[in-house]
Amino acid sequence: MPLSRKSIILTGAGRGIGRAVATKLASEGARLALVARTEKEIQETYELIKDQSPASFFIKADISSRISLNEAFSVIKSQMDAIDVLINNAGIQQPIGLFHENNMDDWEQNIKTNLLGPANFIYLVLPIMIKQRKGKIINFSGGGATGTRPNFSAYAVAKTAIVRLTENLADEYRMWNIDVNAISPGAVNTKMLDEVISASQKSGKELSEALKRKEQGGTDLSIPANLVAFLASDASDGITGRLISAPWDPWAKKEFIDSLRLVEDICTLRRIDNKFFKKI
């Protein structure tokens, strides 16, 4: 049970990837604080894991609201003696469409949910992890972080910022043995895929790919769930400041794991100018 006695906070645990991650972590012995904004969904996830992880519990909270987040965190602290891992999975995709046609209130809400929510949660857990002199923070990045994603500007901006936040905090908190990493889960079939299809032509070139994925299936949910379990475990100690692709990177292989610890720029956001011309 590699996660035995680990106390883990998981946001966005009500459905999709979050639910898959919850069931995986529970099966490996973790105690979970499940956080989501829809009570029915979060309770359904809890029912799935309670036999394997009877000490787990769930909290309804909206991570885009600092007030809601603070209230949820107070409950978590009252029920958990330690916080070993924070997993920032919760996210939204809207608005979809050309930037000048977006509703800017929706654009701002996307940033609040996908960037400021995780940042605020990290802010709350860091003092505890510093006191423990150990901790793991796992942030979910996604499409648009390593390349442009037309018609999804808010999502792409937020997910890129999450990677830079990850890298920055990894350097700031390395001395306390706090590992901070981001993952890209791959093209999974979740509610976000349905949103792309519902947006129709506003989704641009992604619409045809979404329709194909809906019919043929996307990345298996177990793939990102397994990567999260690895990064939450002691087996990943010393890996920090990385953006790891669940379906594309060979993260289960020893050679790649060694590279994540030793090679400075692997799995990071960097300019690649030297690939095209020599330094002056």
Tens of pLDDT, residue by residue, the chain (280 residues): 899 999 999 999 999 999 999 999 999 999 999 999 999 999 999 999 999 999 999 999 999 999 999 999 999 999 999 999 999 999 888 998 999 999 999 999 999 999 999 999 999 999 999 999 999 999 999 888 988 889 999 999 999 999 999 999 999 999 999 999 999 998 776 667 666 667 777 777 767 676 666 666 667 899 999 999 999 999 999 999 999 999 999 999 999 999 999 999 999 998 877 766 665 5
Structure tokens at 47: 């029912």
Structure tokens at 22: 């919850």
Q: What pLDDT, on the 0 to 100 scale, is given for residue 201?
A: 78
Q: Which of 46, 123, 155, 173 is catalytic?
A: 155
The torsion angle over the Cα atoms of residues 203, 204, 210 and 211, rounded to 10 degrees, is: 110
CB atoms within 10 A of CB 97: 20
Break the chain into its structural domains and give their ranges.
7-193+220-275
Q: What pLDDT, on the 0 to 100 scale, is given for residue 200?
A: 72
- Phi and psi dihedrals of 33, rounded to 5? -100, 105
Residue with tokens 């990837």: 17
Report the half-sphere exposure of 28 (CA within 13 A, side-chain side).
20
Domain 7-193+220-275 CATH class label: alpha beta
Cα–Cα distance between 19 and 22 in angstroms, integer? 5
Residue with tokens 């949103």: 195
Residue 228: name the closest of 184, 280, 271 by CA.
Answer: 184
Cα–Cα distance between 242 and 97 in angstroms, integer? 30
* DSSP reduced 3-state for 107: helix
Contact 16/221 with Cβ under 8 angstroms?
Answer: yes
Does the reported pTM lie above 0.85?
yes
Buried b (16+ CB within 10 A) or exposed e, 207-222: beebeebeeeebbebe
Q: What pLDDT, on the 0 to 100 scale, is given for residue 217?
A: 66
Check if 123 is active-site. Answer: no
